[in-house]
């Protein structure tokens, strides 16, 4: 299970650190106390020190993000972290222009490509990159109503799962929510299949438990 969190996406490492305490508590039925919290935090700190040796590529990406955020960005860049920041700036502009009804799902990427070309983002334009953020992607295509709908089926379900203490659902919606920040998951058949299948299974299970 832990390897899935690490490899599922570029946000896997962050998701891993968020889900790890939940997994420990659930697996070993740990009761919250000062001692147990101290032990858990110590283990997480130890993991932070060890994981860079085991997964150097993941931590190199984190360092790259810091470097990108503190310096100027070359618009011709196609480097993953740098280009995301440039793309998200264009996404914000498109959202402002099409706030209510969006551009239409079929025109989202085309409008992004036009924006890249007009603003000199040659790296993003040449590689025909999407929004690299599902929330932005949906907002551009469907407007404010589509964005609210996506929020309801992710964050609202996460809140419900936490309130009802549904462990698997909490892990799933945490994973989905963080992956949606870094990738337009629903733009690929693999992402749609993963989301639709597990969402249907877990929410239907949750509904049956509520009925009982």
Q: What is the pLDDT of residues 96-105, one digit of tens each?
A: 999 998 998 8
CA 131 to chain centre: 12
Quote the CA–CA distance of 46 and 59 in Å, as a whole number. 15
Residue in 108, 97, 176 with CA at minimum distance from that of residue 137: 108
Name which of 72-76, 115-119, 155-159 the model is least confident about.
Answer: 72-76
- Report the SS3 class of residue 166: coil
Handedness of CA 81, 83, 88, 91 (dihedral sign): negative
The CA-based angle 58-60-65, given to 5 degrees, is 100
Q: Which two tokens stand for residue 112?
A: 């992004």
Q: Is 112's pLDDT higher than 70?
A: yes
CB of 170 within 8 A of CB of 161? Answer: yes
Average pLDDT of the residues in 70-96: 77
> pLDDT band at 134, cuts 50/70/90?
very high
Residue 71 DSSP one-character state: S
Q: Phi, psi (5° rounding) for residue 105? A: -55, -40
Q: What pLDDT is recorded for position 94?
A: 93
CB of 131 within 8 A of CB of 88? Answer: yes
**Between 29 and 103, residue with greater pLDDT:** 103
Locate the domains of the chain by residue range: 1-71
- Report the SS3 class of residue 134: helix
Q: What is the pTM of this model?
A: 0.70
Residue in 134, 171, 173, 163 with CA at minimum distance from that of residue 150: 134
Residue in 9, 2, 3, 7 with CA at minimum distance from that of residue 178: 9
Q: Phi, psi (5° rounding) for residue 173? A: -75, -25
Quote the CA–CA distance of 112 and 120 in Å, as a whole number. 12
Q: Which two tokens stand for residue 184?
A: 């337009």
């Amino acid at each position: 299970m832990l390897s899935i969190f690490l490899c599922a996406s570029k946000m896997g490492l962050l998701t891993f650190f968020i889900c790890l305490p939940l997994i420990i508590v659930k697996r070993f039925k740990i009761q919250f106390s000062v001692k147990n919290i101290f032990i858990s935090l110590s283990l997480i700190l130890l993991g932070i020190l060890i994981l860079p040796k085991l997964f150097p590529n993941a931590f190199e990406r984190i360092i790259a993000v810091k470097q990108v955020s503190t310096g100027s960005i070359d618009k011709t860049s196609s480097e993953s972290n740098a280009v995301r920041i440039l793309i998200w700036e264009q996404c914000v502009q498109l959202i402002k222009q099409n706030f209510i009804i969006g551009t239409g799902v079929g025109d989202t990427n085309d409008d992004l490509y036009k924006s890249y070309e007009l603003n000199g983002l040659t790296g993003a334009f040449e590689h025909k990159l999407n929004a690299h953020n599902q929330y932005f992607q949906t907002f551009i295509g469907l407007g404010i109503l589509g964005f609210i709908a996506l929020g309801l089926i992710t964050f609202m379900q996460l809140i419900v799962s936490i309130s009802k203490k549904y462990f698997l659902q909490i892990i799933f919606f945490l994973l989905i929510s963080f992956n949606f920040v870094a990738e337009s998951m629903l733009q690929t058949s693999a992402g749609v299949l993963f989301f639709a299948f597990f969402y249907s299974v877990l929410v239907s299970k949750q509904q049956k438990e509520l009925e009982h």
